[in-house]
Amino acid sequence: MIDLAALASLRAVDHHGSVVAAADALGYTPSAVSQQVKRLERQAGLDLLERVGRGVVLTRAGRQLVSDGAALLAELERIEADLHAGSGAVVGRLRVTAFSTAVRGLVAPAARALLDAHPGLVLALTEEEPWDTVDLVARGQVDVGVAHSWGDVPLAVPEHVATHEVGRDAADVVLPVDHPLAGRGSVTAAALVGEPWIATPPGTICREWLERMHDGTGARPRIAHQSREFDSHLALVAAGLGIALVPRLGRAALGPGLTTLEVSDPEPTRSVLALHRRTQGSSPAVAATLAALDAAWAAR
| Nearest-angstrom CA–CA distance, 278 and 292 | 19
Q: Is the pLDDT of residue 85 over 70?
A: no
Least confidently predicted of 20-34, 141-155, 185-199: 20-34
Burial 170-209 (b: 16+ CB within 10 A, else e): ebbbbbbeebebeeeeebebebbeebebbbbeeebbbbeb
Mean per-residue pLDDT, 208-218: 89
| Nearest-angstrom CA–CA distance, 9 and 255 | 47
Model confidence over 108-155: pLDDT tens digits? 999 999 999 999 999 999 999 999 999 989 988 899 999 999 887 778
| Nearest-angstrom CA–CA distance, 285 and 117 | 11
pLDDT bracket for residue 80 (50, 70, 90): confident
Q: What is the pLDDT of residue 99?
A: 95
Q: Cβ contacts of residue 27 below 8 Å, gap of 6+?
A: 93, 95, 122, 124
Candidates 23, 22, 7; CA nearest to 65 is 7
Mean per-residue pLDDT, 40-65: 84
Q: What is the pLDDT of residue 268?
A: 92
Residue 42: CB atoms within 10 Å: 11
What does pTM read for this prediction? 0.79
Model confidence over 216-247: pLDDT tens digits? 888 999 999 999 999 999 999 999 999 999 99
Candidates 154, 122, 128, 155; CA nearest to 141 is 128
| Nearest-angstrom CA–CA distance, 286 and 274 | 10
> Which run of H or of E encompasses 109?
helix 108-117
Strands 196-199 and 222-226: parallel
Candidates 171, 172, 145; CA nearest to 286 is 145
Q: What is the pLDDT of residue 9?
A: 85
Provide the β-strand partners of residue 235.
Answer: none
Mean per-residue pLDDT, 48-71: 82
Q: What is the pLDDT of residue 46?
A: 85
| Nearest-angstrom CA–CA distance, 300 and 238 | 25
Model confidence over 254-267: pLDDT tens digits? 989 999 999 998 89
